[in-house]
Every structure is written in C-alpha cells, then in structure tokens.
Amino acid sequence: MPATRPPADRADGARLAALLQAGEIDAAIDAGLMGFVDDDPALDPAARAVVVQARERLRQAWAARDRYRARAARLARRAAEREARRNPAPAASAGPAPALPPAAAAALARARARAGGKP
C-alpha cells in the first residue's frame, strides 16, 4: 500500500515545526504556516502544538494590525471632517469678474480713441 502524500498546496507540519523551532518565522510563513491543516496523524503532538500555537499567534497579531489600521483611518477621517467644519471652503464665484468697472472701461475706450487719432 503506497504512503499517502499531502497535496502540494498543503504545508508539511514537520517542516513548519522545524522552521519555527529554529526561529525562522518568515520562512515558516512562506512555507505555508497560515494554510496548515491540523489533520496529519503522523505529526508529533509537540510539533503539532508548536505549529498550531504559532499559527494562532500570527492570526491574532494580523487581526490586531488590521484593527489598528482601521482605527487610524477612522481617526484620520474624523480629524479631516472636524477640520472641514472649522474651516469651510470659500464659496465659488458665479462667473468671471469683469476686468474693469463699466465707468473705467468707458474712460479707457475714450482715451484710446483720442490717442488713436494722433499719429
């Protein structure tokens, strides 16, 4: 009877335990620590405990990091809303303002007409 091997996408518990005991957490994550399924009867109970505990600690740490990031984003959004209430944006004008008032424009036109008549 041939020995059954775990599928390629599943992590090897003994390898993960060895990596964790050597302090190679990053290598264990790369080797599939988070995808480890605790159903290998051949795995030593002590090694199983090491892998499962490391996986749960990592899962809790990642969840805490996500909560921290969500809180920081929420606080930044609230601060921006508070600042917007304190300093409202200036009102936009309805259209471009004329360059000169009508009386000044008329005076300028008369001056140009007089100056244009002289060579």
* pLDDT band at residue 81 using 50, 70 and 90 as cut-offs: very high
Residue 115 lies in a domain: no
Residue 25 lies in a domain: yes
Q: Which helix (H) or strand (E) holds 19?
A: helix 13-21
Tally of domains in the chain: 1
Q: Which pLDDT score is estimated for 100?
A: 82
Residue 118 scores a pLDDT above 50: yes
27: containing domain: 7-85
21-25, 34-38, 94-98: range with highest mean pLDDT: 21-25
C-alpha distances out from residue 113 to 92, 98, 101, 105, Å: 37, 21, 18, 12
> pLDDT digits over 53-71, tens only?
999 999 999 999 999 999 9
Residue 95 lies in a domain: no
Residue 59 lies in a domain: yes
Residue 102 lies in a domain: no
> pLDDT digits over 4-35, tens only?
444 444 568 889 999 999 999 999 999 999 99
